Chains A and B, each alone.
Chain A
């Protein structure tokens, strides 16, 4: 009996010990990624006919990738190029970063990485994790045709091209307004800041929804962005771009230095003073602002075209109130002209970078260039935009028509748009009912910012500075501080936040890239 007890406990501990150590062993094999990563390609190159394994990592935003058997894009690409593509798509940029960081720390690089920002590119390039693409650029002909010369500039760091920017997403944000409310209150579509304020006041006070209660607001949006056209009418970027870098009178300037900033903030303050702003404007997250629009709580919303015009949005609007009608407001006029808002020309929807480990694997590298060129070519681009020809879409001349199957099955395939897509063409095809409004929204004039090109100096704490600018401006619009306290902003930034370093860096890089003399 006693002996049995003893063996039992020994068994228990041995089992759990092996569990502990087993977990540990697995860990170790993960850490030894470096050698396996470099061995793998040689293994595959031995077998001539075997498809080349390629791994792509990018943010998937929660899009569910079907398994390999049902992934018709993967199958088409694999067959066309004799490759075996594995796509890893963590749901959020943070997940992506942590995945990339662990992989890179372990030396186990994905072959193709779609980086979210220049900051990530800078960091990886500095550490020598990325392949210098400069000698290979002429082998990326189709890609260049697709994304344009400027996109090759966005991945330049230290004089070397480390990445290629994808085609940029269209900027379509603008004011949308309830046409039926305007008609009910006998008002015109506003064309200046004063008129905008007047309409917003009427929407707040004159019961536009006719329910006898004062339960509506004038303006909503996501934070400062909701006033982008008001800031724009004075030629400055809205405060959500707290340290926007732009060109004024041939010189690079950052928004806290611009004297017009104070005037613009004073204009915005009028809206807060009049009580016409959504009280939760600074806490609206995700779709909160457009939801309020759909529910009929607010009459003017600064938002992208999709919110009220896209089929799903439009259906929601009609379901909440069949009489509701949203129309786009043309950019309001001001002393500086018509500017709908800031637009970071240096920003990208993604930077395609390759792993440095590919340097010595010419064969695999060629396959990657083939892949990138193919998805940028007219044929390949159609594949990753709409799916399989004659199954998911049909063509009539140059016009593409998406089939029912395409609408149902092709929801995930944007993940394979490695170099992006011809944006306006794509949107016009996919949302043919909204083509004119998308076209109009994308052509609005915007203030070009260059922050995407500027590398943050390490001794400048951007997060603290952003917060300081945001806090001060909020206190001003909510009347806790006088507008004159804005005068000390630039000085405070210098003394407390080392802001000078950032300004110097900005003008230095703007010169280097040839944007200013």
Chain B
């Protein structure tokens, strides 16, 4: 009897607690109603433009035709027909490998230069020099790949590029940067770093600006030099930003960068440069095979999501995870 009543008491108590909690939850919301109201449009935007369009993913499982549209197109038979078409392409492993390799190279070689540049800017005492160099270094971010390819040709072409002219004139052999499978990936990674170094540095500089100045003062009082300050204050100060950007980049590993590669590649370097997106473009979109294109897109997103989850787990170890 007493047992029962105590149980009742406990459940009553639990009820009150959950009720209290719920009440407090709504109360909290009501208290910051202005903030939540401002959040609302953002949420609605996400639902309408990011979540609702996801129903279009069913194209990947349908024999999509334009007139039938999403609903009236027949289901593909078997359901994974377009996934199989992708996996069974004789070039599947090669393009998957290329996509990952190019992205990973960009991640490895592309992460440090902007950090380095940002530190240089941070240490630069001449204001006007800093401003000028900064502006010039982020300009390429706004150039389209067509223009950058033009610059690359002017510099590196085997027949008319400046670099090869210099090489040949000083007695060396010319190097086929653009048509050689040995050089092409370096070209992709190099031009990508060149394009984004200044832009990337801006974010790190913003992070550096938020570091408490008293830390530097304390370090100076303790007799720390510039390098010490960079190592012990600046770098730890932007650590979370570095990790955050890294996680975001890892999510895009399967994306490659279609614009860049589509404009720069040629039949001779397919072996090292053909990525998932360029393949989809040639087989899917040019032959209007939308179902194949979205099946591959879904496959890429899934892998991307798994990679983000893993990266976030790993980042937690350094205390820099997103969530």
Give 1 or 0 for each of B22-46: 1 = CB within 8 Å of chain A CB.
Answer: 0000000000011101101110110
Whether A474 pairs with B268 at a CB distance below 8 angstroms is yes
CA distance A217 to B38 in the complex (A): 67
CB distance from B251 to the nearest CB of A (A): 25
Take A104-B66, A280-B178, A295-B160 as given contacts and tell me if A123 and B288 are in contact as well, using a CB distance cutoff of 8 Å: yes
Q: Which residues of B contact A496 (CB under 8 A)?
A: 90
In the complex, whether A232 has a CB less than 8 A from a CB of chain B is: no
Whether A119 pairs with B287 at a CB distance below 8 angstroms is yes
CB distance from A435 to the nearest CB of B (A): 33
Q: Which residues of A contact B67 (CB under 8 A)?
A: 104, 127-129
Number of interface residues of A (CB under 8 A): 51
Take A13-B37, A17-B41 as given contacts and tell me if A463 and B279 are in contact as well, using a CB distance cutoff of 8 Å: yes
Whether A127 pairs with B68 at a CB distance below 8 angstroms is yes
Q: Which residues of B contact A217 (CB under 8 A)?
A: 159
Contact of B160 among A10, A21, A297 (CB under 8 A): A297
Which residues in window 78-127 of B have CB below 8 A to A?
Answer: 85, 89-91
Count how many pairs of residues, one from A and one from B, have CB atoms less than 8 Å apart in the complex. Answer: 110
| Interface 9-mer from A312-320, A465-473, A499-507 | A465-473
Q: Which residues of B contact A464 (CB under 8 A)?
A: 89-91, 283
Contact of A470 among B34, B66, B267, B289 (CB under 8 A): B267
Give 1 or 0 for each of A72-99: 1 = CB within 8 Å of chain B CB.
Answer: 0000000000000000000000100100
In the complex, whether A16 has a CB less than 8 A from a CB of chain B is: yes
Q: Which residues of B contact A63 (CB under 8 A)?
A: none
Which residues in window 114-169 of A have CB below 8 A to B?
Answer: 119-120, 123-124, 126-129
Give 1 or 0 for each of A97-117: 1 = CB within 8 Å of chain B CB.
Answer: 100010011000000000000
Chain A interface SS verdict (over half): helix
Most buried by A among B67, B159, B160, B179: B159
In the complex, whether A12 has a CB less than 8 A from a CB of chain B is: yes
CA distance A97 to B289 in the complex (A): 13
Chain A: which residue is nearest B85 at the CB level? A461
CB distance from B314 to the nearest CB of A (A): 35
Give 1 or 0 for each of B272-313: 1 = CB within 8 Å of chain A CB.
Answer: 001000010011011111000000000000000000000000
Q: Which residues of B contact A24 (CB under 8 A)?
A: 48
Whether B288 pairs with A119 at a CB distance below 8 angstroms is yes
CA distance A283 to B156 in the complex (A): 13
Whether A9 pairs with B66 at a CB distance below 8 angstroms is no
Q: Which residues of B contact A123 (CB under 8 A)?
A: 66, 288
Chain A: which residue is nearest B271 at the CB level? A471
Q: Which residues of B contact A6 (CB under 8 A)?
A: 33-34
Whether A20 pairs with B41 at a CB distance below 8 angstroms is yes
Q: Which residues of B contact A470 (CB under 8 A)?
A: 267, 270
Chain A: which residue is nearest B38 at the CB level? A13
In the complex, whether A393 has a CB less than 8 A from a CB of chain B is: no
Chain B: which residue is nearest A240 at the CB level? B267
Q: Bin the interface of chain B by size.
A: 35 or more
Contact of B179 among A97, A129, A283 (CB under 8 A): A283
Take A120-B288, A280-B158, A468-B90 as given contacts and tell me if A101 and B66 are in contact as well, using a CB distance cutoff of 8 Å: yes
Whether B160 pairs with A292 at a CB distance below 8 angstroms is yes
Whether B179 pairs with A279 at a CB distance below 8 angstroms is yes
Chain A: which residue is nearest B92 at the CB level? A464
Whether A282 pairs with B66 at a CB distance below 8 angstroms is no
Whether B159 pairs with A278 at a CB distance below 8 angstroms is yes
Chain A: which residue is nearest B169 at the CB level? A213
In the complex, whether B157 has a CB less than 8 A from a CB of chain A is: yes
Q: Which residues of A contact B287 (CB under 8 A)?
A: 119, 456, 462-463
Take A126-B65, A279-B158 as given contacts and tell me if A20 and B179 are in contact as well, using a CB distance cutoff of 8 Å: no
In the complex, whether B7 has a CB less than 8 A from a CB of chain A is: no
In the complex, whether A19 has a CB less than 8 A from a CB of chain B is: yes
In the complex, whether A5 has a CB less than 8 A from a CB of chain B is: yes
Q: Which residues of B contact A278 (CB under 8 A)?
A: 159
Whether B65 pairs with A127 at a CB distance below 8 angstroms is yes
CB distance from B25 to the nearest CB of A (A): 21
Whether A16 pairs with B66 at a CB distance below 8 angstroms is no
Contact of B159 among A5, A17, A297 (CB under 8 A): A297
CB distance from A515 to the nearest CB of B (A): 24
Whether A13 pairs with B160 at a CB distance below 8 angstroms is no
Most buried by B among A13, A97, A127: A13
Q: Which residues of B contact A279 (CB under 8 A)?
A: 158-159, 174, 176, 179
Contact of A282 among B34, B35, B268, B286 (CB under 8 A): B268
Contact of B37 among A9, A97, A223 (CB under 8 A): A9
CA distance A10 to B41 in the complex (A): 11
Q: Which residues of A contact B171 (CB under 8 A)?
A: none
7 residue pairs, one from A and one from B, having the closest CB atoms: A127-B67, A283-B266, A9-B34, A16-B41, A463-B282, A463-B283, A17-B41
**19 interchain pairs, CB-CB under 8 A:** A13-B37, A13-B38, A13-B40, A16-B42, A19-B41, A120-B288, A127-B66, A215-B168, A223-B267, A278-B159, A280-B159, A282-B266, A283-B178, A297-B160, A461-B283, A463-B283, A467-B267, A471-B271, A474-B268
Given contact pairs A467-B274, A474-B267, a sample of 7 additional A-B residue pairs in the complex whose CB atoms are under 8 Å apart? A20-B41, A94-B285, A127-B67, A279-B159, A283-B266, A462-B287, A467-B267
Chain A interface residues (CB < 8 Å from chain B):
5-6, 9-10, 12-13, 16-17, 19-21, 24, 94, 97, 101, 104-105, 119-120, 123-124, 126-129, 215, 217, 223, 278-280, 282-283, 285, 288, 292, 295, 297, 456, 458, 461-464, 467-468, 470-471, 474, 496-497
Chain B interface residues (CB < 8 Å from chain A):
33-35, 37-38, 40-42, 44-45, 48, 65-69, 85, 89-91, 153, 157-160, 168, 174, 176, 178-179, 266-268, 270-271, 274, 279, 282-283, 285-289
